[in-house]
Amino acid sequence: MFDRSIIKANLTNTLTETNLSAPLEKVHVGKVRDTYTYQNKRILVTTDRQSAFDRILAAIPFKGQVLNQISGLWFEQTKDIIQNHIIDLPDPNVSVVKSCKTLPVEIVVRGYITGVTDTAAWFNYERGEREFCGNILPEGLKKNQKFPKAIITPTTKPETGHDEKISRDEIIEQGLVEEKIWNQIEDVAIKLFERGTEIAARNGLILVDTKYEMGLDENGELILIDEIHTPDSSRYWLAETYVEKFNQGIEPDNFDKEFLRLWFNEHCNPYTDKTLPDAPPELVEELSFRYIDIAEKLTGKKFEAGDVTNINQRIDDNLKRYFGL
């Protein structure tokens, strides 16, 4: 088990902004990842920024390394289902990837009804919605209950940048994705979720829900991009206590950022308040530990923390060596 004192000693040694030197060119800053380009390749730098409610809530020590390395593992374990964009991981926080055309839809697969954000299944179900992203949901479901079978609930980002629910029919009608490609996406997404569920179960975990992002490569072939089955893009529960907790009507033991979402939901309006309160240090430490803990559970290996005394410089040095600059 990872030594929590290492986290506590590095609460302020986090990567929140990147400033890599030329000839690497920064082309995009996302919620968590900064994107650079060089030699027709894209360089994804996974920061320690913690986002939810379309806001940055905190900076979590070692989070970027965990996400980058878990994604690398999952991309390797699912490449028989769909090709992915990974070329190499030259730094704990960095992936060098193939360029592609990103599709404007996130594919969210849900095995259980839960969640507190306004695109979550339980949030909408509790408010009376029974048709959710084109899926007809039965009456009488309880929070955190398992669906009879996994459902696909896509989201898209309009100009506001806020995730919005959308259905299969709307995606095709609006011309966001061709029907032939969307049929392939649905098939691949369920297969990826089934693979993730199987591997998680072998490690005592439940893969509750997750999101996938996909694109088209230079030949127009579907390709898996961004991240996969990380605790940022996915919700995990501890399998051995799930039934007991569900029967008691309390939240399952989890390894994701849901408890941080819940804290902000209880202490402010994270969607409308101009300024948010600072996340308590003990919650930041706990979330960092959970990220590391699930990384160790999923990989079966002890987490080796990278040098965080100057993460920007470390990344710069590693990329210069990688590209021979």
Q: The tokens 């430490």 sit on which residue? A: 285
Reported in sequence order, the residue ranges of the chain that DSSP labels E, i.e. its strands, are: 25-29, 33-38, 41-46, 49-52, 55-59, 86-91, 94-98, 101-113, 131-132, 135-136, 145-152, 155-156, 164-165, 205-216, 222-225, 234-238
Question: Can you give the CATH number for the domain in which 61 is found?
Answer: 3.30.470.20
Average of per-residue pLDDT across 217-236: 94
Give the pLDDT score at 54. 80
Looking at the 3D structure of the chain, how many domains does it have? 1
- Confidence tier at 217 by pLDDT (50, 70, 90): very high
Average of per-residue pLDDT across 120-147: 96
Alpha carbon distances (Å) from 286 to 5, 7, 19, 180 = 11, 9, 28, 44
Q: Which amino acid is at 227?
A: E
Range of the domain at 275: 4-323
- Confidence tier at 158 by pLDDT (50, 70, 90): low
Give the pLDDT score at 1. 80
**pLDDT tens digits, 14-54:** 999 999 999 999 999 998 999 999 998 999 999 999 988 88
pLDDT of 169 strictly over 90: yes
**pLDDT tens digits, 83-107:** 999 999 999 999 999 999 999 999 9
Tell whether the torsion through CA atoms of 263, 142, 232 and 118 is positive or negative.
Answer: negative
Peptide bond into 252 cis (omega under 30): no
Q: Which helix (H) or strand (E) holds 296?
A: helix 281-299
